[in-house]
Amino acid sequence: ENRLAARVFTPERSQVLQLLSTQAAIAIENAKFYSELQAKESKITQFLEAIPMGIAIVDATGRPYYANQCGNQLTGKETDPSVAPEQISEAYQLYVAGTDQIYPAESLPIVRALRGDRIRTEDIEIRRDQVTILLEARGTPVFDQQGNITYAIATFQDITERKQAEKLLADYNCTLEQQVAERTAALRQSEANYTEAKRKQTQKTRTVA
């Protein structure tokens, strides 16, 4: 409208106004894009929080970036970006299952994922508050469009009760196999004794005759 009136703005000021209006339009579009991005990130976070297993993410340098609520509950710690990769096992009290050895940081699934490995293991224990939690853990690398690893994701869950149940079942099967073997041996011995007694009886009968 101002362009319709004469001498309202000089050409130089008109250029400045056009530039400002263009930047304002770009800023509005960016704000809309940022708002949509935030909404998507919020949904993704809700999805991650709803998953009933621990999820932890480290950045390309190996430092903790995110952990869902289940992961924090299992480890008993919040995400601490100041923890270096070589300090993860000690910081989160991760041990080699069945030993007093701190789990080698370079062997952690999430650290190995930063090297491009996809790995699953069941030999990690968390020890905290005088409680030992046996974990099943998986590590998966995350790549960008250029094929570079930008993050690594670890999923982990408590398998203590499952392993205890498996051990009870294995012990029961072992006991059952032993009992079957003992009863089979006893039956064979009984059959052998019966056969021997019958042979002796037959021999005695022939001798008398």
Reported as half-sphere exposure (CB side, CA atoms, 13 A), residue 150 has a value of 6
What CA–CA distance (Å, rounded) separates 177 from 7?
Answer: 104
What pTM was computed for the model?
0.65
Least confident of 62-66, 129-133, 157-161: 129-133
Q: How confident is the model at residue 106 (pLDDT cuts 50, 70, 90)?
A: very high
Q: How confident is the model at residue 74 (pLDDT cuts 50, 70, 90)?
A: very high
What CA–CA distance (Å, rounded) separates 47 from 45?
Answer: 5
- Under a CB-based contact definition with an 8 Å cutoff, are residues 104 and 124 in contact? no
Q: What are phi and psi of 144, to 5 degrees?
A: -90, -175
Per-residue model confidence as pLDDT tens digits over 138-171: 999 999 999 999 999 999 999 998 888 888 888 8
- Under a CB-based contact definition with an 8 Å cutoff, are residues 116 and 110 in contact? no
Per-residue model confidence as pLDDT tens digits over 5-45: 566 666 676 677 778 888 888 888 878 877 777 777 778 88
What CA–CA distance (Å, rounded) separates 189 from 170?
Answer: 28
